[in-house]
Chains A and B, each alone.
Chain A
């Protein structure tokens, strides 16, 4: 028995997010229907699918923006995310990057990271503008990771599109999240920026972290993803390596072949 358990473990790594029988209806319109899937620690998962396939809705459900109509969404198989709001879920270590870059443009780059690292906690420290040494060091470290080490004192609104996207990834990163959800991180980027972003995302890989990326750019997906899940009309159409998915006739029919 014990042997079998140990070998099972090797085949399926620890589950970060467990989704079972998930359905989401918006006043009659079924955005997601009976979806079951798992995200694992240590992997980079890509979710692809045509517009309206339910990709963003899935992220909304995991981050608490949308409540499931039925079904289960668990973190670590223990925490029922459908019972929590956005704030509580963010504090569990689930970070999300939105489709359009949403950094706080009126604030400095560094101040954006400070907001993120505080995580909404410590009102007294906020009022005294106080942060621990450790937090300062962490911010320096992240600024370097996202390649903005010389832009810390710049107003975030003056950054280029690509830099804003990196800053937003940095805002996730400072909190050392267990799960990172990225919604189209390379949309609108130049080839050079895309290449840097895929390096950056590959660098986020860690055994204690699950990374989920929604993306339309197939080359980018092929480069970074371990596993690809294809959604279509709110259902899981197929799952596997990029090559396997690329050659799946059903996937070709609904998505790639068009």
Chain B
């Protein structure tokens, strides 16, 4: 018992240096280690790790609201998509400065220049700030309306899912000027570095690792603070918290907006690594999958979300290239098996085993 507890604790802290080491290892794996060595990583592999780190950040963001505040969002793809699309706009703007050719979809619309609003996205730093602000604003409006009206549980989940679908349908429309179903692509450079360069791609993957580490440290600090305990209390008995003098909708709103901003940042890093953003980024399927990663890893543990996202996406990339038709069955099988045999998810079960020796002796 004690050993398990010690181990879970070690890993919870140890993941920070591990992820930093992964970040440091990526450039080495490509440039220094020779091709023949097992430790060598191809650009494809590095790119994959970068994308998976973005998904892990997305899962971490969801765990903050689901695991701690008890808000099961089936629409975190919305915020991921906001980050992705706004980053896409910045990258297209940068590409125009490079090539002086308007994106295809704008030419079809008969435009001869970028709409004025796109000028906001001329600089990356401004784009990052605008994206964080916009994601938090959208989350804030949603949160204000739903949390104040005391919409909870499955109703809230259904609303988030419906909004995701609505946003996807909206983005499919060509006339809103975001590329319709083809989305945005043809990105050339990011802050001056050509995206086609290996070193740029490695840099993006390293950034994804480091941002995940930063977000994990920050969210863990918050989750273990008095504020995190207040969120847990809201999750377990929101009405009781009101009678203790807490404005529970404000607590939820803060966690929700922070989570949205993190998800948007994940989207911002994801898009330059895949080179395209289209409406499938806000497909209901992705949003549900995020919840699956967190559930498999163990909600309310933070590390479980990261482990779950890495595990499932790793499996997905590996198996969907080997056995593409079997993948959905395997994902479904793993999900069912874990929810049946490990109700708290992988990490949650390990942790519970560690705590079993501590309490419960005298009931």
Q: Does the CB pair B244–A106 fall under 8 Å?
A: no
Instruction: List CB contacts (< 8 Å) of B224-248 with chain A.
Output: 224-227, 229-230, 232-233, 236-237, 239-248
Which of B230, B236, B245 lies in contact with A106, CB distance below 8 A?
A: B236
Complex Cα distance, B9 from A24, in Å, reads: 53
Q: Does the CB pair A119–B230 fall under 8 Å?
A: no
Given A102-B240, A154-B359, A91 and B226 contact (CB-CB distance below 8 Å): no
Which chain B positions have C-beta within 8 A of A127?
Answer: 222, 225-227
Q: Does the CB pair A158–B236 fall under 8 Å?
A: no
Return A181 CB to nearest CB of chain B, in Å.
10
- Stretch in A27-35, A43-51, A107-115, A231-239 with 4+ CB within 8 Å of B: A107-115
Size class of the B contact interface (CB-based, 8 Å): 20 to 34
Complex Cα distance, B359 from A163, in Å, reads: 15
Q: Does the CB pair A120–B236 fall under 8 Å?
A: no
Which chain A positions have C-beta within 8 A of B232?
Answer: 104, 106-107
Please, which residue of chain B has its CB at the minimum distance from the CB of A114? B226
Q: Does the CB pair A116–B230 fall under 8 Å?
A: no
Which chain B positions have C-beta within 8 A of A95?
Answer: 243
Which chain A positions have C-beta within 8 A of B244?
Answer: 90, 115-116, 119-120, 171
Which of B222, B233, B237, B363 lies in contact with A158, CB distance below 8 A?
A: B363
Which chain B positions have C-beta within 8 A of A157?
Answer: 359
Return B140 CB to nearest CB of chain A, in Å.
16
Which of B225, B230, B242, B359 lies in contact with A115, CB distance below 8 A?
A: B230
Return A160 CB to nearest CB of chain B, in Å.
7
Q: Does the CB pair A126–B243 fall under 8 Å?
A: no
Q: Does the CB pair A87–B247 fall under 8 Å?
A: yes
- The answer, yes or no, to whether A121 is at the interface (CB within 8 Å) is yes
Q: Does the CB pair A87–B242 fall under 8 Å?
A: yes
Greatest chain A CB density within 10 A among B222, B232, B243 is at: B243
Given A98-B240, A104-B233, A129-B226, A119 and B245 contact (CB-CB distance below 8 Å): yes
Which chain B positions have C-beta within 8 A of A128?
Answer: 225-226
Which chain A positions have C-beta within 8 A of B237?
Answer: 102, 104
Q: Does the CB pair B243–A114 fall under 8 Å?
A: no
- The answer, yes or no, to whether A105 is at the interface (CB within 8 Å) is yes
Return A124 CB to nearest CB of chain B, in Å.
9
Given A107-B229, A120-B247, A127-B222, A158 and B242 contact (CB-CB distance below 8 Å): no
Greatest chain A CB density within 10 A among B224, B229, B244, B363 is at: B244
Complex Cα distance, B244 from A98, in Å, reads: 12
Q: Does the CB pair B229–A111 fall under 8 Å?
A: yes
Complex Cα distance, B247 from A155, in Å, reads: 25
Please, which residue of chain B has its CB at the minimum distance from the CB of A104? B233
Convert B327-363 into 0s and 1s, putting 1 for each residue whose CB lies closer than 8 angstroms to a CB of A. Answer: 0000000000000000000000000000000111011
Instruction: List CB contacts (< 8 Å) of B171-226 with chain A.
Output: 222, 224-226
Given A118-B226, A154-B359, A87 and B246 contact (CB-CB distance below 8 Å): yes
Which chain B positions have C-beta within 8 A of A96?
Answer: 243
- The answer, yes or no, to whether A86 is at the interface (CB within 8 Å) is yes
Given A90-B244, A107-B232, A126 and B363 contact (CB-CB distance below 8 Å): no
Return A112 CB to nearest CB of chain B, in Å.
8
Please, which residue of chain A has its CB at the minimum distance from the CB of B242? A86
Question: Using a CB–CB distance below 8 Å, which chain A residues touch chain B?
Answer: 63, 65, 85-87, 90-91, 95-96, 98, 102, 104-107, 111, 114-116, 118-121, 123, 125-131, 154-155, 157-158, 160, 171, 175
Please list 10 pairs of residues, one from A and one from B, whose beta carbons are closer than 8 Å in the complex, sorted by A's number. A63-B243, A87-B245, A91-B245, A104-B236, A107-B229, A120-B245, A126-B225, A127-B227, A155-B358, A158-B359
Question: Using a CB–CB distance below 8 Å, which chain B residues touch chain A?
Answer: 222, 224-227, 229-230, 232-233, 236-237, 239-248, 254, 358-360, 362-363
**Interface contacts beyond A107-B232, A107-B233, A160-B363: sample of 14 additional A-B pairs, CB < 8 Å, sorted by A:** A65-B239, A86-B242, A87-B242, A87-B246, A90-B242, A91-B245, A96-B243, A102-B237, A104-B240, A106-B236, A111-B229, A115-B246, A123-B227, A158-B362
